Amino acid sequence: MQSFNTLSLKVTNNQLWILDQQALPQETVWHPSPDVAALVEHIRTLRVRGAPLIGLSASVLLALLAENGMPVTALEHALETLRATRPTAVNLMNNLDRMKRALEQPQHVPALVQEALRLIEEDRALCEQIAQHGATLVKPGSRLLTHCNTGGLATAGVGTAIGVIHHAHRQGHVERVWVDETRPLLQGGRLTAWELGELNIPYRLICDSMAATLMAQGQVDAVWVGADRIAANGDIANKIGTYSLAVLAHYHGIPFYVAAPHTTHDAACPDGKAIPIEQRAASEVTGVAGSFGICQWAPQDVQVYNPAFDVTPASLISGWVLDSGVITPEQVQAGIFTQALR
Ligand code: MRU
């Protein structure tokens, strides 16, 4: 396969490498991902994370394994193993469905390689389109609040919600970004803070629980988030804490926008209740792990509830910004998400 690199994924000398998103921003560590077991581990531990990136990394690995001579039955098994790594982000399933069709071709090796590279290129282009459409909604002088990480680390391009913010900032419309730290795994405090710093976009980091106060003080003009799945009725799943922000934004009369590529849309999923929500390890909540080791503050035998995502109902969303354009609540009520978008 030809070499390429994105911010957090690269192929050199026919080897897949991933940038460790658990080590950032303290350390920049690239790990090889030579086989399915390695990538499964990277995805489950969130070294590779973000809805688009999970699907892209799995697709690229399959193509490389095919080039290395893995037989078709083993590739089929590998595909299903990768599909089962994380349940909520549908981009993984959508990308792997396309890879499965390539695997069914008589010349499956070039078909898989072309499809994986096409997915990377498409994701770059989708991010650009989302950024352009979304920026039309950002008014001059905006103070925007975002949650989790939706940038170049999570995609092959400029990102989704962060892509919009970046584009609007280049137009001079962003005064400041409020970055939710995003407990428990701190994707905001570690990754979004790092990315916005690299992009020279002014931001301030806040604890998730501070958003309400900022909104009450009139210091937030809009909320921008990404999504892991958009159901047919417009409900979305995204990082835990997104729903709380949507409720708060609604209460304070602040627009709440969702930015995502069409690969995040699942027309077969009727509503948010049908979206599978990943449950994660108690250790993510009982303390924190980092380059310093593990620090546990909760009692040893504590019981924990740790859903990685929540569902925001369509009724709380002001606009869905897709690569095809801005979708309004009226269009969602008329059933636009019940159709295939591409
Ligand atoms: O558990 P994560 O870090 O993979 O969750 C990521 C999110 O929830 C993002 O907001 C979403 O995947 C969109 S990334 C463009």
Please give the ipTM for the structure prediction.
0.99
Quick check: CB of 163 below 6 Å from ligand 1?
A: no
In whole angstroms, give the CA distance from residue 60 to residue 99. Answer: 9
Distance 43 CA to ligand 1 centre (A): 12
In whole angstroms, give the CA distance from residue 71 to residue 187. Answer: 37
In whole angstroms, give the CA distance from residue 51 to residue 115. Answer: 18
pLDDT category of residue 294 using cuts at 50, 70 and 90: confident
Distance 183 CA to ligand 1 centre (A): 13
Residue ID of nearest Cα to ligand 1 atom 6: 50
pLDDT greater than 90 at residue 342 = no
- What is the average pLDDT across 294-314? 96
49 is known to lie in a ligand binding site: yes
Q: Is 20 a catalytic residue?
A: no
Distance 278 CA to ligand 1 centre (A): 12
- Across the strands, what pairs with 55? none
Instruction: Give the 3-state secondary structure of residue 317.
Output: coil
Instruction: Spot the catalytic one: 123, 180, 221, 228.
Output: 228
239 is known to lie in a ligand binding site: yes
Relative to the CA of 54, which ligand 1 atom is closest? 4
For 207, half-sphere exposure in the C-beta direction (CA atoms, 13 angstrom radius) is 3
Instruction: Give the 3-state secondary structure of residue 242.
Output: helix
Task: Kindly report the three-state secondary structure assignment for every residue of 67-99.
Answer: HCCCCHHHHHHHHHHHHCCCCCCHHHHHHHHHH
pLDDT recorded at residue 230: 98
118 is known to lie in a ligand binding site: no
In this structure, the strands spanning 309-312 and 174-180 are unpaired
User: What pTM value is reported for the model?
Assistant: 0.97
pLDDT one-digit tens code per residue, 104-130: 999 999 999 999 999 999 999 999 999
Phi/psi of residue 301, nearest 5 degrees:
-100, 20
Element housing 296 (H / E): strand 293-296
Residue ID of nearest Cα to ligand 1 atom 10: 226
Structural domains of the chain, with CATH: 4-128 (1.20.120.420), 130-340 (3.40.50.10470)
DSSP class of 279: B
